[in-house]
Amino acid sequence: MKGYILDRYRKGQTLRLGDLPDPVPSADEVLVEIQATGLNQLDGKIRDGAFKPILPYKPPFVLGHDLAGVVLSVGSNVRRFKAGDAVYARPRDGKIGTFAERIAVNEADLAHKPANLSMEDAASLPLVALTVWQVLVEQAQLKAGQKILIHAGSGGVGTIAIQLAKHLGATVATTTSAANADLVRSLGADVVIDYRTQDFSALLSGYDVVLNSLDAKTLEASLKVLKPGGQLISISGPPDPAFAQAQGLNAVLRLVLRLMSAGIRRKARRVGVDYSFLFMRADGAQLGEITKLIEDGAIRPVVDRTFPFGKLNDAMTYVDRGHAKGKVVVSLQGTAGS
């Protein structure tokens, strides 16, 4: 099969299209023919080497964290899927590799594709939708009547977070550019802050939750909008001790991460706010819950551009620029190996 291979860690490194052995599914795995894959900023960060301490992939390896496709075969222990099923997934860490024609995915990471979505639209969702579910439903336990600020509302995470927060009954504020104001309003945003001309920390107050995906300056300023007892949840860092423990990192790395997050945790305590870092995990059962919301019309994908498989490196460059509205997708249908 064909796949895009990262031969070495380096910022902006081009991925090499090459031949790979076909994956052989274990007893608990499902072999999937990938028809579309979503691109994420995480792919670029791993390529650049930023995640080597906590995700120690050894080059050469295949990147890619989102897929939609069709089941080719299943392992002997698999019960929920059969050949021919349309599925989508975010494969678990250590088992990524969706920038290829086929992949073996653990049954527990997989869900049936929403019936009302194309393969390309479905492939845009797993990583960002699971991130949002784990932030809003699991971590924040967001409730009707609460207020949430979602940074970067027009991005991949932001477009889904706005919709899920509205579905849960929250009042939603978001930051974006003026050019994307209509988009985020169409997704349900109640308050739209133009980050280029307005200071969100001066305009907002009394919020229950902030979802941060931006830089350290934005993270610290977000403390000002939260009420005592509020939650500041970041998916862009810095990692906290709870994350280090959950990942099973060694003592040196645990200390490093503790020190990295010490400043923001201290400032959060001073104003009575809880700071936490979330690094999403694969979860097919949660993806199944998200499927129901998609089929019911509560959540819709936002896809900026779709590239053919032969242009995957161009798609990576486009994502690196950081201006995509929603997600960028690569389609393998009719273009594999081109």
Task: Please check whether residues 143 and 212 belong to one and the same domain.
Answer: yes
Intervals of the chain under pLDDT 70: 335-338
- Ramachandran assignment for 229, one of left (phi > 0), alpha (psi -120 to 50 degrees), beta (any other): left
What pLDDT, on a 0 to 100 scale, did the predictor assign at position 338?
Answer: 35
Please report whether residue 70 resides in a domain.
yes
Task: Please check whether residues 113 and 76 belong to one and the same domain.
Answer: yes
Task: Please check whether residues 161 and 178 belong to one and the same domain.
Answer: yes
Closest alpha carbon to 319 in 28, 5, 2, 48: 48
Task: Please check whether residues 161 and 172 belong to one and the same domain.
Answer: yes
Which token pair is 313? 């490196």
What pLDDT, on a 0 to 100 scale, did the predictor assign at position 337?
Answer: 39
- 261, 277, 293 — which closes off a domain? 277
Task: Please check whether residues 133 and 261 belong to one and the same domain.
Answer: yes
Specify the CATH number for the domain of residue 56: 3.90.180.10
Contact by Cβ (8 Å): 332, 35 = yes
Please report whether residue 282 resides in a domain.
no
Domain count, the chain: 2
pLDDT per residue as tens digits for the range 295-338: 999 999 999 999 999 999 999 999 999 989 999 999 998 754 33
Q: State how far the Cα of 132 lies from the Cα of 25, in Å rounded to an integer.
A: 29
Please report whether residue 16 resides in a domain.
yes
Please report whether residue 337 resides in a domain.
no
Specify the CATH number for the domain of residue 266: 3.40.50.720
Task: Please check whether residues 102 and 209 belong to one and the same domain.
Answer: no
Taking the whole predicted model, whether its pTM rises above 0.85 is answered as yes
Task: Please check whether residues 109 and 149 belong to one and the same domain.
Answer: no
Q: Which residues pair with 39 in a beta bridge?
A: 328
Q: Which residues pair with 69 in a beta bridge?
A: 34, 87
Please report whether residue 297 resides in a domain.
no
Residue 74, C-beta contacts closer than 8 angstroms, at least 6 positions apart = 25, 29, 30, 31, 81, 82, 83, 107
Please report whether residue 24 resides in a domain.
yes
Please report whether residue 338 resides in a domain.
no
Which range marks the domain in which residue 158 is found? 128-277
Task: Please check whether residues 92 and 142 belong to one and the same domain.
Answer: no
What pLDDT, on a 0 to 100 scale, did the predictor assign at position 22?
Answer: 96
- What does the DSSP 8-state code read for residue 13? P
Task: Please check whether residues 10 and 40 belong to one and the same domain.
Answer: yes
- 260, 277, 294 — which closes off a domain? 277
What pLDDT, on a 0 to 100 scale, did the predictor assign at position 336?
Answer: 42
pLDDT per residue as tens digits for the range 121-174: 999 999 999 999 999 999 999 999 999 999 999 999 999 999 999 999 999 999
Task: Please check whether residues 113 and 17 belong to one and the same domain.
Answer: yes
Q: Which residues pair with 110 in a beta bridge?
A: 89
- 244, 262, 277 — which closes off a domain? 277
Task: Please check whether residues 323 and 225 belong to one and the same domain.
Answer: no
Please report whether residue 287 resides in a domain.
no
Task: Please check whether residues 84 and 189 belong to one and the same domain.
Answer: no
